[in-house]
Amino acid sequence: MTSLPKQVRLVEVSPRDGLQNEKRPVAIEDRLRLIDDLGAAGLRYIEAGSFVSPQWVPQMAGSDELFARLSRRPGITYAALTPNMRGFEAALAAGIEEVAVFAAASESFSQKNINCSIAESLDRFAPVIEAAGQHGIRVRGYVSCVLGCPYEGEIRPQQVMPVARDLYQAGCYEVSLGDTIGVGTAGTTRRLFETVAREVPRAQLAGHFHDTYGQALANIYASLLEDIAVFDSSVAGLGGCPYASGASGNVASEDVLYLLDGLGVETGIDLDRLIQAGVRICNVLGRDNGSRVARARLASSTPACS
């Protein structure tokens, strides 16, 4: 059998990618509670908020207050998105130790999401990455629409590769490849990583799968076969992107953990506590739980009707 990574790091994006897509803003108190529940479950990397324009994404307003009030657990990285220097300066003032910049493999998506071309976005990120380096802050990079775009349709791996390479060469220590609209398959995922890995080492790549077509777990397994060992996921499958209509939530963290546990891959995360975190935030949001594993576990712990 092909060998799989022995350990995987899960990047929990629900407080950012999950909540940014909610119709109504979520109270800071509830955002903080979610982040703390995730830390208690053993997540070691939590994307907690976003320093973007509140006109563009009102749900992430108040991320400065959130970071000011966050009670940090030791050993956990709490990160945030910063699309430009304005966002980076706000993140720095909030005492952040890691930030993320986000580009796209599609010109149209780049315009809709951050109001500039791909090349302009990379120019904007350069001073952010430089300033971050001066302050000892690590920068993660995202590339969106790596397997398809809501405006342009098919995206080829050859379009993704230069954007991922430029982010890596600019100083991002890791580049997360995002299937923003969840159209990828195990086959296209493998070809994507094979291609991008010619320019960015596999240990510096991550997978970020939305589950619109129900392929995310298959795509994660395909990525494991490509020796990718970092995946972004969201408790209860919360999420989506305000600039990719119809994109469903991220793959549910509980479901990814169940897959990894079954493969004997270490993560350090406790499934029961993770399920509890998902249940609590779903109750706050008045939403159904998007994790199949959580739903199955909760149903089996409910006494059968007589």
Which residues ranging from 8 to 67 are in contact with Mg ion (CB under 5 A)?
17
22, 30, 42, 53: residue in contact with ligand HMG (rule CB under 6 A): 53
Number of other residues whose CB lies within 10 A of the CB of residue 116: 17
Q: At what angle do helices 157-170 and 118-134 cross, to 10 degrees?
A: 30
86, 158, 173, 194: residue in contact with ligand HMG (rule CB under 6 A): 86
195 binds, among ligand HMG, Mg ion, none (CB under 5 to 8 A by kind): none
Integer-rounded Cα radius of gyration of the chain: 18
As a whole number of angstroms, the distance between CA 304 and CA 288 comes to 20
56, 72, 199, 265: residue in contact with ligand HMG (rule CB under 6 A): 56
86 binds, among Mg ion, ligand HMG, none (CB under 5 to 8 A by kind): ligand HMG
Find the shortest distance in angstroms from Cβ 129 to ligand HMG: 15
Collapsing DSSP states into helix, strand and coil, what is residue 157?
helix
CB of 143 within 8 A of CB of 179?
no
As a whole number of angstroms, the distance between CA 46 and CA 76 comes to 7
Residue with tokens 């994109």: 247
Collapsing DSSP states into helix, strand and coil, what is residue 164?
helix
51 binds ligand HMG (CB under 6 A): yes
140 binds ligand HMG (CB under 6 A): no
115 binds, among ligand HMG, Mg ion, none (CB under 5 to 8 A by kind): ligand HMG
Nearer to ligand HMG, 67 or 243 (CB): 243
113 binds ligand HMG (CB under 6 A): yes
Spell 133-151 as b/e; 16+ CB within 10 A means b. eeeebbbbbbbbbbbbbbe
208 binds ligand HMG (CB under 6 A): yes
Residue in 116, 241, 282, 305 annotated catalytic: 241
Task: Indicate the residue type of 77.
Answer: T
Number of other residues whose CB lies within 10 A of the CB of residue 74: 5
Q: Which stretch binds ligand HMG (CB under 6 A): 82-90, 192-200, 216-224, 277-285?
A: 82-90
User: Looking at beta carbons, which residue is closest to ligand HMG?
Assistant: 178
Residues 6+ away with beta carbon under 8 Å from 118: 103, 104, 105, 107, 110, 163
9, 10, 15, 17: residue in contact with ligand HMG (rule CB under 6 A): 17
Q: Which stretch binds ligand HMG (CB under 6 A): 30-38, 109-117, 155-163, 270-278?
A: 109-117
282 is catalytic: no
Residue with tokens 């994307």: 47
| Residue 135 DSSP class | T
**Which positions are catalytic?**
241
Which residues are near ligand HMG by CB under 6 A? Answer: 17, 20, 50-53, 56-57, 81, 83-84, 86-87, 102, 113-115, 142, 144, 178, 180, 208, 210, 241, 243
Which residues are near Mg ion by CB under 5 A? Answer: 17
